Structure 1
């Protein structure tokens, strides 16, 4: 009798133990399965989100770079326009490298009256440029109409009503009626006319003709051109 009871108890205990183990196994499986499912779900959803974020970040960076490039291009264009405008409004020396020789109002036997301009001592063939934008009103030999003493000459009318004259030229490269810009090549220096040596005779006038000259150095200095 006691053996049967023991056997039954043992059997019941064994059954209970197996049930607990089985339940525990099933629970672990459920938990593990849920974890795997969650991991799988996270993997599927997170990958597209990360890619989308990367694409958006790249697009934003490209847009920012494009905007910066456009701003830089605009700034450069504005700067070039301002520089061109400043150049158009400015005055320059008629020759780049020179030594000053005979000055305005200087007395001497070379002139019937006092010297009417400023002489820039330069070698024959030196590039001569328009000191300011304007229109050519005189060009050619015989002082372009002002007399043989000037040799080959050019006279340019400027928007402010003043005229610039360039004389003793070896070659004239502009024609009457031609529009020129500030610093544009107009001729080559020389030793033509009543000249003691190669140089450029330069005048600023109030009319296109001889006899209306003003001090060209003082005039250029007043406009910021240091002669």
Structure 2
């Protein structure tokens, strides 16, 4: 019986080298892929962080701008309110300067609406007790529509009198004068001297009788003190 002899063949050197080379190449590919993956992940994280930081910065900038705008708006509103208040005050002063009391250094005597034997009806004006010859001034700019004795046409009780028409539709009357310095149709300005106080007509003593009327004629008088106060003139 014959014996089988098994012969072991050793791999050639070239095959061994090839296998080693292939294994090394595979390992390099795997390591390269891992490195590439790691690099990609790092880049994504960095990009995300940059985007978030940019968004936060933009939001902070927007909030800061909103705060500045709000502060600016508040300042503008305050400035507008301040200017409006100043304009209102200036208008009040101008209005006050456009009307004035007809005499200076006076004592108030008979008032509007007072009853008594001296008048056929209740007192139609405000009396300013002043010495005879005290300068009488136009209470407001206007045009003279009545002047002369006999109340300028309103009756002998007024003595020498003047009536002035004003642009707002009101009329002022100045009575019991000792002298008249204006004529019908003449334009007078606020504060202009128009005559001198006296004691003419139905008068119990030297004074100026002052009326504010809605027409040029007797019987349309309103409370002169209340009217002057409405135009910021204190009596």
Q: TM-score range with shorter-chain normalisation?
A: 0.5 to 0.7
SS at match of 1:104: coil
Of 106, 113, 137, 1:98 maps to 106
- Asked if 1:126 is matched to 2:134, the reply is yes
TM-score (norm 2): 0.60
Structure 2 residue 182 is the aligned partner of structure 1 residue 174: yes
Aligned equivalents of 1:109, 1:214: Cα separation in 2: 21
Cα deviation digits, residues 32-78 of structure 1 (max 9, x gap): xxxxxxxxxxxxxxxxxxxxxxxxxxxxxxxxxxxxxxxxxxxxxxx
SS in 2 for 1:160: coil
Contact 2:126/2:224 (CA < 8 Å) preserved in 1?
Answer: yes
- Tell me, yes or no, if the aligned pair for 1:135 and 1:177 is still in contact at 8 Å: yes
Corresponding residue of 1:66: none
**Whole-angstrom CA distance in 2 between matches of 1:145 and 1:87:** 31
2:96 touches 2:232 (CA, 8 Å); kept in 1?
A: no
Partner of 2:216: 208
Offset of residue 86 of structure 1: 3.3
Runs of 4+ off more than 2 Å: 85-89
If the length of structure 1 is used for normalisation, what is the TM-score? 0.62
Q: Distance in 2 between matches of 1:98 and 1:163?
A: 22
Structure whose CA Rg is larger: 2
Report the 3-state secondary structure (helix = DSSP H, G, I; strand = E; otherwise coil) of the residue aligned with 2:225. helix
Residues 87 and 182, structure 1, Cα contact 8 Å, conserved in 2: no
Asked if 2 retains the 8 angstrom alpha-carbon contact of 1:88 and 1:132, the reply is no
Could you tell me whether the CA contact under 8 Å between 1:105 and 1:115 is conserved in 2?
Answer: yes
Name stretches of at least 5 consecutive residues in structure 2 with no aligned partner.
Answer: 1-89
Matched, 1:140 2:148: yes
Give yes or no for contact 1:136–1:175 (8 Å, CA) kept in 2.
yes
**2:124 paired residue number:** 116
Count how many residue pairs are aligned between Structure 1 and Structure 2: 145
Structure 1 position 150, deviation (Å): 0.1
